[in-house]
Amino acid sequence: MLGAVLLAAAASVFTVPDLWFGLDRWSPFTQIVAFRAILLVVVAVVALALALVTLGMRRAWPFPLAMLVVVALTASTMVPRLFADPVPTGGTPVKVLSFNVYTGDADVHALADVIHRERPDLVALPEAGERYRQKLAPLIEDLGYRTEASVDRRSQDVNGVTAAVSPRFGDVTFDIGKITPDSPFPYVQVSGGGMGDLTFVAFHSVAPTAGAVAQWRQDLAGVSRWCTAASPAIVAGDFNATLDHSVLRAATADCGDAAAQRGTALTATWPAMLPRWLGAEIDHVFANHGATSESFQVLDLPGSDHRAILTTLRLPA
């Protein structure tokens, strides 16, 4: 029995490290927990294999039972994201598009086609600096979009974030900032004009690679400044974290996640080469003050290792 308990404990440390005193805040659990869906499948297969073993060794029954407990515990953290909130009625609709353009290599014409077709009000493009912005801007100029990049042409696209705003909001103001002085990716904050008291942020967190996990935690923690703001805010982009990361959940506790509100928060946005059920959902649109998503789509666009996300939010009057 003790062996079964120890096995279950060891397995749960990897599948739900966020429930083990926030172990997901440190490597290697930070990276592992992003693929909780895969871990759930692995643990379920192990449980099944152990169950087959008990057919010949009945005394081994505590082991598959212990693994089934881990399966249930892991699944319980994910299943709620499959259920949508009630579709909002009333309020002001705002359509938001976010797409990591992968070091500026994503097909700019395909992206422009999506913007022409969907007419998003606000667009966040991580890994798009001034170089990519100059490619995109002429393609959507006829629609009246205003664009701004967080880095100039002297910097590679991977270091930048670009925001695009539809003419609906008029003469907005773009501000470039960093979460911390060491944050490698400046964000673009949009306000003013016809946006009223609404703020939009095109955001990109550093990836939690070896040596960068501490900065990743700081980048994500900084998102709370917009979620807890007294005025409405929308933050969109590549957060390099899923809702299984306790750091992201804490930072966005006062925001709603558009995908979770529509019951699609288990649809992977990265890497695009893997099936949608197998990867990690690290691209998000967060909004505070009761803003609720009425629709959410994940789009495959050529040239990027990310999928794009498109949502229509309803902002309370």
pLDDT tens string 230-285:
999 999 999 999 999 999 999 999 999 999 999 999 999 999 999 998 899 999 99
Among 33-47, 108-122, 146-160, 165-179, name the one with the lowest average pLDDT. 33-47
Among 40-54, 187-201, 271-285, name the one with the lowest average pLDDT. 40-54
The contacts of residue 173 (CB under 8 Å, 6+ apart) are 190, 191, 192, 193
Total-model pTM:
0.95
Mean pLDDT of all residues in 132-152: 98
- State the pLDDT at residue 8: 81
pLDDT tens string 272-290:
999 998 899 999 999 999 9
DSSP 253-297: TTEEEHHHHTT-TTS--B-TTS-TTTSB--EEEEEETT-EEEEEE
Mean pLDDT of all residues in 191-213: 96
Indicate the length of the chain as a whole number. Answer: 317
Among 45-49, 224-228, 245-249, 283-287, name the one with the lowest average pLDDT. 45-49
Mean pLDDT of all residues in 149-154: 97
The order of strands in the sheet holding 92-98 is 146-149, 161-165, 122-126, 92-98, 308-315, 292-299
53 pLDDT band, cuts 50/70/90, is confident
- State the pLDDT at residue 107: 98
Return the higher-pLDDT residue of 115 and 278.
115
- State the pLDDT at residue 143: 98
Q: Indicate the pairing of strand 233-238 with strand 199-204.
A: parallel
pLDDT tens string 289-307:
999 999 999 999 999 999 9
φ, ψ for residue 173, nearest 5 deg: -110, 135
The contacts of residue 5 (CB under 8 Å, 6+ apart) are 62, 66
- State the pLDDT at residue 60: 67
- State the pLDDT at residue 140: 98
Average pLDDT, the chain: 95
Q: Report the C-alpha gap between 278 and 36 in whole angstroms.
A: 9
Position 7 pLDDT exceeds 90? no
- E strands present in 99-232: 122-126, 146-149, 161-165, 173-177, 187-191, 199-204
